[in-house]
Structure 1
């Protein structure tokens, strides 16, 4: 009996599983648009009010944040170490659609009692949760807006982008890229239970519905609110359904790369993330497409996944 149990564990450990088993459904929000149509309007000031909150100070291994085997990294003599990073939430207000978050920041409850909110031992150890230092928790960031949260746009489902979920009201919808929750890999053996706990009692995950970009500058683009004020750009690689966002604000376009690029050095040198990456070639392609977009629109403000861009 013992041998059978051990064998079953080994089989399970060697099998990949989804990030979450929580139900995902097609989102009704947003409609596909070409990248050319997006670029035709993004330099025109728009109605989105956007505020970035550094919710926590944190650290991560540089080898995860940056591909240290890239020739540019080798030439620069970069070596692995704990790199200081930040965890963000972006507070987005639309004049008629209301208040949304892009990623969640960090919940104080998650930092003070990770086991109590469903973070397992392995994730607690390797996720270095004890190194998270709260600056402004997710609850405080939401309350600062003074109105109900209408939804959360997730760049992806990694812990440092959903670590504010314990503070998010249970009826608030979460939007992801296609196939994000179903992404299958070995590490999810330790992550799935946590993510299922985070989503317990919540509506089905809303998957944004993309169609291939006819201009082929990106894989796909969505006009989120239908008025060309906010765009979701499919940038897979870091995860299967990773999404970056582009907002038209009164002062110009703002690009939220998510983890298509973690670090300032990676952005400046066009080097993709390292071991945290699901598909390196697609990650590199997504990063370079975003860099090319910013170069075509030099007034664009770029906000990276975990470090200030300037």
Structure 2
């Protein structure tokens, strides 16, 4: 009888602990209100070289060791017989500047702690990332210092640790954007990094405020001039975003972890780690259909560059190094 008496108290304490673990370090959210969205557009009109976006660079910020089964779904019949193993995958951050809006990153890369194991901790962290590689000067802060330009904001594809790990190395005053209600993976003491602890606010991109476009559905024209689009691609995370950049060097589709690898994108095999596998398959197929209909678009998956695309601190393009 005494045990039953205390069950509500135990339940309350357990629930409170779970809520604390989920909410710790999670910044306040506010809705991003985009410029007026133009309607009745077609991609052929939009996907011309846009002179508004320049200085477009891929930052390679280090590598992390993860299971292959997390990067690509080994249960897919197309990969029958392939065995799981630990592999090193590259972690990128993507820099671009808009002539009127300023300079931005897609995802934050890795900070300098990844020269010595990184800033992801917790009881199960070693399952996801068991080792790290990073050369001196490869961290996101060093890349930005060499650019010598003010970083205005970071647009996250999602809020998993390998995409937020560079935030501690970014300048104060930087703004941050993510998908509406995107879950922040920071579960102390299970798996956490505290990457967003110092953020006062996270701005949420709500695709319902966007415009309906062929193949991709409702997207957000972030600057209102057809140069930078946020594309909802849920599945790997609940409110994952991919991004389309129309620059003076051509158009680039950044899948984020809607497709970790270029091989997975070509084969139509989604990533192994998914929040919702049905959504993940649908999101990947949507991006693949868009790329097939617009072959001039250069596809850049989350952790593997396709042939002919290279990281480096100069403008990038097919065949550049």
Give 1:99's match in structure 2, choosing from 100, 103, 109: 103
Give matches, 1:20-35, under 5 Å: 21-30=26-35, 32=37
The structure, 1 or 2, with the larger RCO (C-alpha pairs under 8 Å, 6+ apart) is 1
Q: Which has the larger radius of gyration?
A: 2
User: What TM-score do the two structures reach when normalised by structure 1?
Assistant: 0.84
1:182-213 deviation digits (Å, cap 9, x = unpaired): 6xxxx754478836x32223231000121276
User: Which position in structure 2 is the counterpart of 1:259?
Assistant: 257
Give matches, 1:58-207, under 5 Å: 58-74=64-80, 77-112=81-116, 114=118, 119-122=120-123, 124-128=125-129, 130-134=131-135, 136-181=138-183, 189-190=187-188, 194=192, 197-207=194-204
Counterparts of 1:241 and 1:265, CA distance in 2: 23
What is the deviation of 1:22? 1.9
Structure 1: gaps spanning 5 or more residues: none
What is the deviation of 1:62? 1.2
1:25–1:90 distance in 2 versus 1, CA, 3 Å: same
Counterparts of 1:224 and 1:39, CA distance in 2: 19
Counterparts of 2:87 and 2:51, CA distance in 1: 35
3-state SS in 2 of match to 1:166: helix
What is the deviation of 1:101? 0.6
Give 2:274's match in structure 1, choosing from 253, 277, 281: 277
**Hey, which bits of structure 1, 4+ residues long, moved more than 3 A?**
3-21, 29-39, 43-46, 110-114, 187-195, 212-216
The answer to which of 215-224 and 32-41 deviates more is 32-41
Counterparts of 2:73 and 2:206, CA distance in 1: 30
User: Which position in structure 1 is the counterpart of 2:318?
Assistant: none
CA contact (8 A) 1:21 1:192 kept: no
3-state SS in 2 of match to 1:233: strand
RMSD of the alignment, in Å? 3.1
What is the deviation of 1:89? 0.3
Structure 2: gaps spanning 5 or more residues: 1-5, 308-321
User: What TM-score do the two structures reach when normalised by structure 2?
Assistant: 0.82
Give matches, 1:220-235, under 5 Å: 220-235=218-233
3-state SS in 1 of match to 2:110: coil
